[in-house]
Structure 1
Amino acid sequence: MKVVVGLGNPGVDYDGTRHNIGFDVLDKIAKTDGDGKYGLKFHGAVCQVVKGEQKILLVKPMTFMNLSGTCVSEILGFYRVEFADLIVLCDDVNLPLGKIRIRAEGGHGGHNGLRDIQNKLGSTIYPRVRLGVGGPSEANLSGYVLGKFRPHEMTEAKMMVDDAVDAVWSWVKDGIQVCMNRFNGPVK
């Protein structure tokens, strides 16, 4: 079993925000490759899809971004999933809008959701997909990531979601190295 975690915040107030781009990727996978229905389990919204013979658990932590590690650690423990079979998708203000960056491991880079996962798992050795949401022109980072994409950004954000879905399937089918080689390129 593979576990795909998309980070975000629960509730309609956060739908369509930059911080919830990880949720958006999972919702696209759930609707395209599954029945689109989530159940609540281990402090998260969980949907199972099957691709070929591979079972994939889509997980949206419902603990709010800064406590995402609780849900992730409980899911991995219950299903006995190795870190190599986990991939986490999150927003990244240090990447331009539309750019994705995939890593086999690494630090949290200031992202509080990744920081909590790192603390709860006691490891940084798990794959992640960082989804570029651009950086704020003002100093209010929290307001920026909790804000919705502007109308002129929507096309690029939707294309990035599609690219991230493709990256997830590449990781499931071919592993992290092939996935990184295919999707990582120079930052524009």
Structure 2
Amino acid sequence: MYLVVGLGNIGAQYENTRHNVGFDAIDLISDKYNISVNRIKFKGVYGEGNIGGEKVILLKPSTYMNLSGESIIQAINFYKISNDNIIIIYDDVSLDVGRMRIREKGSAGGHNGIKNTILHLGSDSFPRLKIGVGQPKNDMVNHVLGKFSKDEREILNKVLEGSIEAVEVMIKSGVTEAMNKFNGFIVNASK
């Protein structure tokens, strides 16, 4: 069994912002695999289904970004899921728009949602899929809570489509294979 978590903030004012690309990815994954994410529990909204022959829980925490770990740990404890079978999808300002990166473990890199998740799990060893949202020109908060330009959104939508396949490869074939296949993934405006 796998737990696939998309990080974001609840509320209409946060829709389509850089910080909500994790929610966007979960929405696309739920559509592709016909998994309704509409059940309320674990301080979030979740759904159960199958991807690649494996039972999967899709989760969107409702705790707001900085407390994401509170939701994640509740789902982990309820389903008895090991850290190796958790996939967390979130925004990364150190990656340009058009890129994604998969890692097996690592620091929070300044991301408060991941920092809180590491705190609650007591470990930084869990797979994650980082989606590039570009570096801020000025203020970090305004950047991550800001919306993409039309051109950036077109590029991002292609990356989000790629994230569906990346999650499936992580589940079916493992993180290493997914890293080999997707860590060079780049979408340019011209493509």
Structure 2 equivalent of residue 178 of structure 1: 177
Query: C-alpha separation between the residues in 2 aligned to 1:8 and 1:180?
Result: 23
Q: CA deviation at 1:152?
A: 1.7
Query: C-alpha separation between the residues in 2 aligned to 1:40 and 1:80?
Result: 18
Structure 2 equivalent of residue 161 of structure 1: 160
Q: CA deviation at 1:31?
A: 1.2
Q: Residue type matched to 1:103 in 2?
A: R
Confirm or deny: 8 A CA contact 2:36 2:48 kept in the other structure. no
Judging changes above 3 Å, is the alpha-carbon distance between structure 1 residues 186 and 49 closer, same or farther for their aligned structure 2 residues?
closer
Structure 2 equivalent of residue 150 of structure 1: 149
Query: C-alpha separation between the residues in 2 aligned to 1:165 and 1:133?
Result: 17
Structure 2 equivalent of residue 82 of structure 1: 82
For structure 1, list consecutive stretches of 5 or more residues without a partner in the other structure.
none
Structure 2 equivalent of residue 117 of structure 1: 117
Query: C-alpha separation between the residues in 1 aligned to 2:149 and 2:170?
Result: 30
Structure 1 equivalent of residue 66 of structure 2: 66
Judging changes above 3 Å, is the alpha-carbon distance between structure 1 residues 52 and 164 closer, same or farther for their aligned structure 2 residues?
closer
TM-score by length of 1: 0.96
Confirm or deny: 8 A CA contact 2:99 2:185 kept in the other structure. no
Count of residues in Structure 1 that have an aligned counterpart in Structure 2: 187
Structure 2 equivalent of residue 54 of structure 1: 54
What is the aligned-residue RMSD (CA, Å)? 1.4
Query: C-alpha separation between the residues in 1 aligned to 2:160 and 2:174?
Result: 19
Q: Residue type matched to 2:10 in 1?
A: P
Q: For 1:71-98, what per-residue CA distance to the aligned partner results, in whole angstroms no more than 9, with x for missing partners? A: 0011000100000000101100110001
Q: CA deviation at 1:104?
A: 0.4
SS, match of residue 109 in structure 1 = coil
Runs of 4+ that moved beyond 6 A: none
Q: CA deviation at 1:52?
A: 4.2
Judging changes above 3 Å, is the alpha-carbon distance between structure 1 residues 186 and 160 closer, same or farther for their aligned structure 2 residues?
closer
Structure 2 equivalent of residue 132 of structure 1: 132
1:30 matches 2:30? yes
Query: C-alpha separation between the residues in 2 aligned to 1:186 and 1:81?
Result: 29
Query: C-alpha separation between the residues in 1 aligned to 2:99 and 2:116?
Result: 24
SS, match of residue 184 in structure 2 = coil
Query: C-alpha separation between the residues in 1 aligned to 2:37 and 2:103?
Result: 29
Judging changes above 3 Å, is the alpha-carbon distance between structure 1 residues 141 and 88 closer, same or farther for their aligned structure 2 residues?
same
Q: CA deviation at 1:119?
A: 0.3
Q: For 1:13-39, what per-residue CA distance to the aligned partner results, in whole angstroms no more than 9, with x for missing partners? A: 111000000000000011121143421
- Among the aligned pairs, what percent are the same residue? 39
